[in-house]
Amino acid sequence: MKEGWLQRMKGIVTVQVRGGEPEALVNGALQDGLSLWSIRRTSPEHMVFSLTVPDFFRLRPYLRRTGCRIHVTRREGLPFWLRKARKRKFFLGGIALFFVAMYLLSSLLWNIEVRGNKAIRTEDLLAAAKAEGVHPFQWEWKLPEPSDLAKRLAQRLPDAAWIGVEKKGTRLIIQVVETKKPAVRAPRNTRHLIASADAVVTRIIADKGRPVVHVNSRVKKGQTLISGTIGEGANTATVVADGEVRGLVWYEYDVVSPLERTANVYTGETKTKWSLVLFGRALQLTGYGKDPFSASQTREQLQQLGWRGWELPVGRLKETVMELRQERRQLGREEAVESGLLQARADVLSKAGADAVVKEQKILHEKTDNGKVYMKVLLEVDQSIVKEMPLVQMQGE
Amino acid sequence: MGKLNRKLRKWTADMLDLPQDVAYDLPRMTMIGDRQLYIENHRGVLHFSSHQLRLQLSHGVLEVSGADLVIRTIWTEEVFVEGKIESIHLMDREGQR
């Protein structure tokens, strides 16, 4: 039999039997339930076998009966080891200390991991956990139940929709799902909507408040369009008036448009310079010397070596210097008027907002003088004419 | 065992196709090459030395000869022998066969 752990716990003795009738000894011992193993003859007179310590003490009557004498040759297992260990107290203490330390250290909570938080700061969460008695180097047996802890943490953190706590060995993982909050809107004053300019109303839609004017009614600048006071008599209330009001607004422009224009034109003459680019630094290779052009514009093209999103720090830079020439151009009257009108429209649109539409344009007066065209232009623009006017609460009314 | 009893046992063994050792209290030997021998149903050790092991059976004697024989394990009805086994003899109670 291969000595198992049970035998080792009991202790194993190997004995040498001398004289008498060893076979009878073996038979007798077996009959009584003693277990012997590794029985062999070392010489005609000597037999060797192994047995456990308790069995060894039960062997005595059979020895007497069969006339055998025994001599212990080898001792093994826990009882003998303990006897030896009794002499090595510090060694034994060390082993015990090792196991105790191992147990204690593994029952500490070593770190806390927080996952899934964006708006909630990790420090806040850890502070909440600490208030619940959960912090690094806390004893495992002092920790509350994970489900319990999750519930109480969720109570402490109203911004968390759900909190899950999971313990993995010496790690505690806190998983957070945050509540989605609507964007905070700045509080608004109760107000009227008034006209920003003299206009004729083309469209009025009141989302909130009471519309005061109608389509096609003429309004003056500052006149109330949508009122913030609603209700009648004693049942009045003030609200934040909101809505869309569009109207036709007239703009008068004095436009000056010169008949002579200067423009920069490429002559077609170019000069190319090549540079080698290494690690973001360029080393010019060709095209040294002064540029031969009095006015010029430079265009740069960088080509970098690379493969599939990988970029090598090596490339080449092509600089093209292009000659410019100023050209004077004489415009016809029509062209000058057209460009003047365009200018006026662009200006009015930038003032009236992107959704403004120029409905009509009229040249009221036109004069050509000193190489320029002087014009008076009337533009009819359909635009939003809304302006806010906060309502001041009248107290005691 | 009475004669009737023996007959009944034989009949059952034949009918149920049981192994003979179960029916007749015979030894069963399992041998692995010439190095391991496992004997069930023995009745005690008669003689044991490094070159010979004699076991009492219910009917007769089993003699194992070889060299460096070691009883690895022994229980009341089973023996596990290791060593270089050269021959196994089955004998009557005293005589040879």
Query: Over the stretch A158-178, which tens digit does the pLDDT of each residue have?
Result: 888 899 999 888 899 999 998
Topology of domain B27-91 in CATH is Immunoglobulin-like (2.60.40)
pLDDT band at B97 (very low <50, low <70, confident <90, very high): very low
Q: CA A178, CA A120: separation in Å to the nearest integer?
A: 8
Q: Do A22 and B48 touch (CB under 8 A)?
A: yes
**For residues A106-123, average pLDDT:** 88
Model confidence at A128: pLDDT above 60 = yes
Distance, in Å, from the CA atom of A207 to the CA atom of A193, rounded to the nearest integer, reads: 11
> In A, which residues are within 8 Å of B72 by CB distance?
1, 37-38
CA angle B80, B82, B83 (to 5 degrees): 155
- Report chain B residues whose CB lies below 8 A from the CB of A35: 73-75
Distance CA B22, CA A314 (A): 89
Helices and strands, counts by H and E, chain A: 9, 24
Residue A397 has what pLDDT? 46
pLDDT value, residue A302? 84
**A167's tokens:** 């313990």
Nearest to A304 by CA among A292, A291, A314: A314
Q: Looking at chain B, which residue has its C-alpha nearest residue A51?
A: B73
Instruction: Say whether B76 and A33 touch across the interface (CB within 8 A).
Output: yes
Q: Half-sphere exposure of residue A282, counting CA atoms within 13 Å on the CB side?
A: 15
Out of A22, A27, A36, the one facing B44 most closely (by C-beta) is A27
Q: Which of A1, A17, A21, A23 to mutate to test the interface with B (most CBs of B within 10 A)?
A: A23
Percentage of residues in chain A having pLDDT higher than 90: 12
- Partner-chain residue, chosen from A1, A30, A47, that has the shortest CB–CB distance to B72: A1
Contacts of A38 in chain B (CB under 8 A): 70-72
Virtual torsion, Cα A240, A244, A245, A247, nearest 10 deg: 150
Tell me the C-alpha to C-alpha distance, in Å, between residue A331 and each of A126, A253, A261, B20, B52. Answer: 75, 21, 7, 129, 134
The pLDDT score that the predictor gives to residue A218 is 92
Closest CA to A136 of A171, A175, A181: A171
Selecting from B45, B70, B80 the residue whose C-beta is nearest the C-beta of A40 gives B70
Q: For chain B, what is the mean pLDDT?
A: 84
The answer to whether residue A102 scores a pLDDT higher than 90 is yes
Q: Which of B50, B68, B76 sits opposite A31 (nearest CB)?
A: B76
Size of interface A-B (CB pairs under 8 A): 49
- Asked if B74's CB is within 8 angstroms of A26's CB, the reply is yes
pLDDT at residue number B4:
83
Quote the Cα angle for A201-A203-A207, to 5°. Answer: 120
Q: Residue B96: is its pLDDT beyond 60?
A: no
Look-up: residue for tokens 């029509």? A334
Q: Rounded CA gap, B57 and B45, in Å?
A: 9
Q: Do A41 and B76 touch (CB under 8 A)?
A: no
**Is A23 in Cβ contact with B45 (below 8 Å)?**
yes
Least confident range from A66-70, A274-278, A361-365, B22-26: namely B22-26
Percent of chain A with pLDDT over 70: 98
The runs of H, that is alpha helices, within chain A are: 5-10, 22-31, 53-58, 60-66, 78-86, 89-106, 122-131, 146-156, 333-352
Does the domain at A2-82 match CATH 3.40.50.720? Answer given as: no
Longest Cα–Cα distance of chain A, Å, equals 152
Look at A37 and B71 and tell me if their CB atoms are within 8 Å.
yes
Q: What is the pLDDT of residue A32?
A: 83
Continuous H helices in A223-276: none
Most confident option among A194-203, A267-276, A287-296: A194-203
Cβ–Cβ < 8 Å for A201, A219? yes
> Under 8 Å CB-to-CB from A177, ≥6 apart: which residues?
A116, A160, A161, A162, A163
Sheet of strand A160-168, all strands in order from the earlier edge strand to the far edge? A111-115, A171-178, A160-168
Report angle CA A218, A221, A225 to the nearest 5 degrees. Answer: 65
Q: How would residue A394 be classed by pLDDT, with cut points 50, 70 and 90?
A: low
- In chain B, the largest separation of any two C-alpha atoms, in whole Å, equals 45
Residues in chain B with CB shorter than 8 Å from the CB of A39 are 48, 70-71, 74
Give the C-alpha separation, B85 to B67, whole Å. 7
Prediction pTM value: 0.39
- Residue A107 gets which letter from DSSP? T
- Give the pLDDT score at B1: 56
Q: Which among B45, B50, B70 is the nearest to A27, CB-wise? A: B45
- Residue B18 scores a pLDDT above 80: no
Residue identified by tokens 């008036």 is A241
Q: Which residue has the tokens 């391991």?
A: B36
One fold for A2-82 and A108-178: no
Residue A2 pLDDT: 61
Position A36, amino acid: L
User: Average pLDDT, whole number, for chain A?
Assistant: 86
> Does position A195 have pLDDT exceeding 80, yes or no?
yes
Contacts of B37 in chain A (CB under 8 A): none
Question: Structure tokens of A90?
Answer: 């510090």
DSSP A235: G
Q: According to CATH, what is the number of the domain A108-178?
A: 3.10.20.310
Contact A270, A323 (CB under 8 A): yes
Residues of A with CB under 8 A from a CB of B: 1, 22-23, 26-27, 30-31, 33, 35-42, 44, 47, 49
Task: Write out pLDDT tens, residues A359-393.
Answer: 888 888 888 888 888 889 898 999 998 888 888 76
Residue A6 to chain B, least CA–CA distance (Å): 16
Domain ranges (residues) in chain A: 2-82, 108-178, 192-243, 255-260+330-387, 262-304+312-329
Interface of B with A in 62-91 (CB under 8 A): 68-76, 80
CA-nearest of A67, A71, A64 to A47 is A71
**Over the stretch A286-332, which tens digit does the pLDDT of each residue have?**
878 777 787 888 888 888 787 787 877 888 888 888 888 888 888 78
pLDDT, position A228:
85
**Chain A residue at shortest CA distance from B76:** A30
Contacts of B46 in chain A (CB under 8 A): 23
Please answer yes or no on whether B71 and A27 come within 8 Å at the CB atom.
no
Task: Closest CB to B48: pick one of A1, A33, A41.
Answer: A41
**Neighboring chain A residues of B44 at a CB cutoff of 8 Å:** 27, 30-31
